[in-house]
Structure 1
Amino acid sequence: MAPRCALDDLPDAGVLTHDGLAPRGDGRVLVLACGALAREILALIRLNAWGHMDLACLPAILHNHPDRIPDAVQGAVEKHRSDYDRIFVAYADCGTGGALARLCDTLGVEMIAAPHCYAFFEGTDAFVARAEDEFTAFYLTDFLTRQFDAFVIKPLGLDRHPELRDAYFGHYTKLVYQAQTDDPALTAKAKAAAATLGLAFERRFTGYGDLARALATQG
């Protein structure tokens, strides 16, 4: 039976397992992830039948305050370490300026080697190769497309002050939708987001990219 997930943020980093209880030993791995990756990680667990792997999520909104990510990760690792043989941190640097990597080294846990999720979804090497030509691109993933109002419009106050749009996005030229799935409804939503921001639209199917490869190493 695959792990269950409500796909909401889990502020207490509750573990999603087969039976709702945190198992002990037996080669089990806890994936400690950003809530923005919950749907993708659960899909990969099901697809690959990784029955040894459980998931705990921290709130995706931490990305609006990246300085808080290391402390949140440390607290979750310390909370769950005794219940698992390994913990894998499904975060990239995510704006922490190297602080998360230093913490993971101190704690003795692995994390994804990438600057952020846009890079590892596309494949970090491919993303870096494009970077010089795309410094005016604004990126959305499946998660951010679904949560565009909650994570972009409302935090920036554009629902109350739409006239601020050009102050925030005037230097961007296009919105790149990095699609993890082939979902016409999500593509339409991403295209509408680009129109809202006054940007050209590009859809780029990435699938799960380096996220899948990183989790596969925890088999």
Structure 2
Amino acid sequence: MGATLIIACGALAREIDALKRANGWDQLQVQCIDAALHNRPEAIPARVDALLEKHFHQYDRVFVAYADCGTGGALDKVLARWDVSRLPGAHCYEVFATSAVFHALAEAEPGTFYLTDFLARHFDRLVIDELKLDTHPVLQDMLFGHYQRVVYLAQTDDATLLAKAQKAADRLGLAFEVLDTGLTALQAALAPQILHFDHDSEAHHATH
């Protein structure tokens, strides 16, 4: 089995590493992109494209561990040029929760702000600091005034992260709910790409 590269959002790094260790995916290498780009999603396609340009021919298989992530289809255009697949759905919330569960959550309350383990861990840096909510408090109402609740999609059973997620909801003045997702859905999305990739290595390299 040849080497596989996953180009991943940094927000998934810990979870992918956990799955790699749990499943013995020794052939898997991971190259991460700063998760802060989610505040500038228009920059994601170019960063992914640059990494594909750099690494594509060094691996037998390449997969991109991003969903659309706010790129409005621009990421898919990049991936189509390289004949590379990505995670399903609009964003990692949908990946973790599964599409059916996520859409049920969104339909039940469109004004939902979602947290993952990563976002709970780095809420102050990625939300408060990046969006300048401390220095410009008026922005909180502008950006979060239409939200009604925080749903914490928990990948792990971690009391510290649970407390951080609750604190984030309190900081935003929103109701708080928890949904334990684990890593089952992420594993289901990644495993076929790693173990049963559609293209053999000769076809992979011959096309580029």
Report the TM-score when normalising by structure 2.
0.89
Establish whether residue 132 from structure 1 lines up as the match of residue 107 from structure 2. Answer: yes
Aligned to 1:45: 20
Partners of 2:177 and 2:125 in 1: CA distance: 22
Q: CA deviation at 1:209?
A: 4.1
Alignment of 1:104-183 (within 5 A): 104-183=79-158
Aligned to 1:21: none
Tell me, what secondary structure is at the counterpart of 2:29? strand
Aligned to 1:88: 63
**Can you list the C-alpha shifts for 1:135-183, whole angstroms capped at 9, x where unaligned?**
1110110001111011110122112133442232221111111100000
Q: CA deviation at 1:204?
A: 0.8
Partners of 1:98 and 1:215 in 2: CA distance: 21
Tell me, what secondary structure is at the counterpart of 1:56? strand
Identity over aligned pairs, percent:
53
Establish whether residue 98 from structure 1 lines up as the match of residue 69 from structure 2. Answer: no
Higher RCO (C-alpha under 8 Å, 6+ residues apart): 2
Q: CA deviation at 1:52?
A: 1.0
The one of 177, 180, 184 aligned to 1:202 = 177
Report the TM-score when normalising by structure 1.
0.85
Partners of 1:123 and 1:61 in 2: CA distance: 23
Greater shift, 45-54 or 167-176, is seen at 167-176
Structure 1 residue runs of 4 or more that deviate by more than 4 Å after TM superposition: none
CA contact (8 A) 2:112 2:150 kept: yes
**Can you list the C-alpha shifts for 1:18-50, whole angstroms capped at 9, x where unaligned?**
xxxxxxxx5110011001110000000000001
Alignment of 1:9-28 (within 5 A): 27-28=2-3
AA matched with 2:99: T
The number of aligned residues is 194
Greater shift, 71-80 or 125-134, is seen at 125-134
Establish whether residue 78 from structure 1 lines up as the match of residue 53 from structure 2. Answer: yes
**Can you list the C-alpha shifts for 1:181-200, whole angstroms capped at 9, x where unaligned?**
00001001100111110001
* Uncovered stretches (5+) of structure 2, i.e. residues with no partner: 196-208
Q: CA deviation at 1:130?
A: 2.9
Aligned to 2:30: 55
Greater shift, 159-168 or 170-179, is seen at 159-168
Greater shift, 209-218 or 61-70, is seen at 209-218
**RMSD value over aligned CA atoms?**
1.2
Aligned to 1:64: 39
| Greater helix content | 2
The one of 167, 170, 177 aligned to 1:192 = 167
Tell me, what secondary structure is at the counterpart of 1:178? strand
CA contact (8 A) 1:122 1:209 kept: no
CA contact (8 A) 1:120 1:209 kept: no
